[in-house]
Amino acid sequence: MRSASSPRAARPGSPRWTRVAAVVTGLVLATATLSGCVQRESNAGATDAPELVPTDQLSEVTLQVGDQKGGTEALLRASGQLDDAPYTVAFSTFISGPPQIEAATAGKIDFAVTGNTPPVFGVASDARIKVVSAYANNASGDRILVAPGSPLKSVQDLRGKRVAVGKGSSAHGHLLLQLKKAGLAVDDLEWAFLQPADAQTAFQAGQVDAWAVWDPYTAIAQLGSGVDTLTTAEGVSNGYGFGIASDQALADPAKNTALRDLVTRIARASQWAVEHPDEWSADYAAAVGIDPEAAKLAQGRSLRPAIALDDDVIASEQELLDAFVDSGEIRTEASFGDYVDTRYNDAVPA
């Protein structure tokens, strides 16, 4: 199998990491601004899957796969699931899920795995993507962090406070759901929309009162300078991850066939990680460039085994979409189910 991969990751918190995050954030904002100027017909609704092609016809296929460092590529390589793939996979690295949605809509990538909130923003922007696979998680790695000894002891205490969070990320959805549970409105907070590296800097400098974030950043913060956890997403956010594919790739017979195979390989790789936690956390630490203890902590609570993309999963995501609509942060009349395609459900191993 041939593959193309991204350069070695910068260490989180390092000047290079911050520069990379700034560049990617700038690209994301530019892409989002451009996409807002484009008028296009609605992309909602199911699409017919093309006929599958024989695997021996996939040798000329290259899947462009979006990744977050230490994510899909590292997992597939560590588990050996890329070794005999009959097509090429070219990975490109993104700092978070929202720019992956933008890239798929623009036809720059064919597939990516994101958290539970980026696809919701994709629905709102009528992104040219479909959700094609789902992954479970108990959401314990998604947390709202405060400084050690902070007077903030509950979500209600966030009223009037400045909170750092990545816009459109799973942490954004988690924070919104926590506010709803606590009876607070979005206007009760001062929102600081920052990508993780910049949020970490602002948090450590005391420029924000709290930081909503996900693993491995949560684990790095916990084992680094020290933080207190205000609350976790357990029991509040569904914690799901999703595989999203571009409409363009789904309509192409060869790429559709390759994507079906890739989704199956990711499911097997996820199960391998569950069964080999020590090996996976060590490989993950090397891929991300973080302390092995932080990697072990993050992966001990952030594994995402594949699950069926069923009605319960879709309904849970609709609740998240409704929460964003009710808060006024998203305006759409579309349903989450309009952007779901279950064509690969039968390809995911039990």
pLDDT tens, position by position, 277-333: 999 999 999 988 999 999 999 998 888 899 999 999 999 999 999 999 999 999 999
Place of tokens 């996979």: 89
Read off the pLDDT band of 224 (50, 70, 90): confident
pLDDT tens, position by position, 64-94: 999 987 789 999 999 999 999 999 999 999 9
> Read out DSSP for 137-172?
---TT-EEEE-TT-S--SGGGGTT-EEEE-TTSHHH
Does residue 34 carry a pLDDT above 90?
no
Res 42: pLDDT: 55
What residues does each domain of the chain span?
3-137+240-347, 143-232
Q: Nearest CA to 159 among 117, 190, 113, 205?
A: 190
Res 350: pLDDT: 59
User: Averaged over 252-280, what is the pLDDT?
Assistant: 96
DSSP letter assigned to residue 34 = H
Does residue 271 carry a pLDDT above 70?
yes
pLDDT tens, position by position, 156-208: 999 999 999 999 999 999 999 999 999 999 999 999 999 999 999 999 999 99
State CA 201 to chain mean position distance: 21
Fold: same for 3-137+240-347 and 143-232: yes
Q: Please tell me whether residue 252 adopts helix, strand or coil conformation.
A: coil
Q: Give CA separation, 111 vs 92, 161, 248, in Å.
A: 11, 37, 10
Q: Give CA separation, 37 vs 23, 28, 31, 33, 246, in Å.
A: 22, 15, 10, 7, 20
198 CB-side CA count, 13 A: 19
Give the dihedral sign, CA 280/284/290/294.
Answer: negative
Q: Please tell me whether residue 131 adopts helix, strand or coil conformation.
A: strand
Fold of the CATH domain 3-137+240-347: D-Maltodextrin-Binding Protein; domain 2 (3.40.190)
Read off the pLDDT band of 250 (50, 70, 90): very high
**Residue 144 and residue 178 in contact, taking contact as beta carbons nearer than 8 Å:** yes
Is the domain spanning 143-232 CATH 3.30.1370.60? The answer is no
CB atoms within 10 A of CB 305: 13
- Which tokens is 59 given? 């040798």
DSSP letter assigned to residue 340 = B
Read off the pLDDT band of 46 (50, 70, 90): low
Question: What are the start-end ranges of the E strands in the chain?
Answer: 3-4, 62-67, 88-93, 111-114, 129-135, 143-146, 162-165, 190-193, 210-213, 228-232, 241-246, 306-307
Res 2: pLDDT: 41
